[in-house]
Amino acid sequence: MDLKGKKFVLVGGAGLIGSHTLDCLLNEDIKEIVIYDNFVRGSEENIKDALHDSRVKVFEDGGDILQKDVLLRALDGADGVFHFAALWLLHCHEYPRTAFKVNVEGTLNVMEACIERNVKRLVYSSSASVYGDALFEPMDENHPFNNKNFYGATKIASEAMMRAFHHRYGLDYVGLRYMNVYGPRQDYKGAYMAVIMKMLDSIDRGEGPTVFGDGSETFDFIAAHDCGLANVRSMESNATDDYYNIGTGVGTSLRELAEIILDITNCKQDINYLPRSEATLVTNRVGSTKKSADEINFVSTISLKDGLKDLVKWRDKEILDSPTSFN
């Protein structure tokens, strides 16, 4: 889709990935952006700068994806929709029925609203959680669904619904399977994002960062800004009825992650290793990025070290208000 002169609705647009997508969209010659968010996890703080742009507004009558009549009104005249809204992994683990209601039924509402409002294109935020623990690496998009948690189950169900709506109603969509997202505006609720924040908390206390397990668990860490860029590239692309890994393709162990954080914060303490206890989390996950590069023109732009520096600077300013030095 040519973005010029178009109207977009960001469902869950005040959250981590949604707000970074908003920033990226504002670099384009778009007509209007509507933020549809209930501000349970998203925040006005995340979008405060963007709201100075006259093209951006928050839908004032509500932001709950379970209120379909309100959602339909928000999508009036929309050319494209980005769907980010969902309960997070640990919340789904604790409250599976609510997770089903929001992540599955809510996504169905978004899909139906897109059809009823003749939206030209939908970009859906799925997750690499559909894969579970890697059976081979790098995982391509044909990797089996090895998921064992309820969050991943809701994403698998939603992916299947998207495909069904494409074939029955012609819904033009693509879905993005994010690897381990981090960056400015993140909170402590994301199971994997919280690892980084808790390492930084330990350093603030004069301790070394804590790693659960032996530190060998390996993940693909992708900056939230790059996820925003991937959303914009996906809306622009001609790809349809398909899913794409969004990551760097580079695996980083938790030990290596802790070492990078020690380096950029000038912390001289040792890493603390504790027994691993989170049974809901996977141990290895690195995705192939070839398909996303070839078909939606997305390649990550931010290295892990640079992305962590951005995160620490944001955290110092917005959370601690006390500067941290850098190498």
DSSP letter string, 189-212: -STTHHHHHHHHHHHHTTSPPEEE
Mean pLDDT of 304-326: 82
Q: Are 67 and 78 members of one domain? A: yes
What percentage of the chain has pLDDT greater than the value 90? 88
- 210: domain CATH number? 3.90.25.10
- List, for residues 50-73, the tens digit of each pLDDT value: 999 999 999 999 999 999 999 999
- 104: domain CATH number? 3.40.50.720
Q: Are 174 and 238 members of one domain? A: yes
Q: Are 235 and 265 members of one domain? A: no
**pLDDT category of residue 193 using cuts at 50, 70 and 90:** low
In a domain, 2, yes or no: no
Average pLDDT of every residue of the chain: 94
Per-residue pLDDT for 2 more than 50? Answer: yes
- What residues make up the domain containing 152? 7-181+221-246
Give me the pLDDT at residue 327, please: 46
Give me the pLDDT at residue 283, please: 87
In a domain, 289, yes or no: no
Q: Are 161 and 209 members of one domain? A: no
Domains: count for the chain: 2
Q: Are 107 and 168 members of one domain? A: yes
CA atoms within 13 A on the CB side of 283: 11
Q: Are 22 and 103 members of one domain? A: yes
Q: Are 173 and 25 members of one domain? A: yes
Per-residue pLDDT for 192 more than 80? Answer: no
Report yes or no on whether pTM surpasses 0.75: yes
Q: Are 258 and 156 members of one domain? A: no
Burial of 171 (0-12, 13-18, 19+ CB in 10 A): buried
**pLDDT category of residue 187 using cuts at 50, 70 and 90:** confident
In a domain, 327, yes or no: no
Give me the pLDDT at residue 195, please: 87
Q: Are 146 and 211 members of one domain? A: no
Give me the pLDDT at residue 322, please: 47
Query: Which of 24-33, 81-90, 129-138, 184-193 has the lowest average pLDDT?
Result: 184-193
Pairwise CA distance, residues 226 & 299, whole Å: 8
Q: Are 312 and 280 members of one domain? A: yes
Nearest to 86 by CA among 65, 68, 67, 72: 65
In a domain, 149, yes or no: yes
Per-residue pLDDT for 95 more than 90? Answer: yes
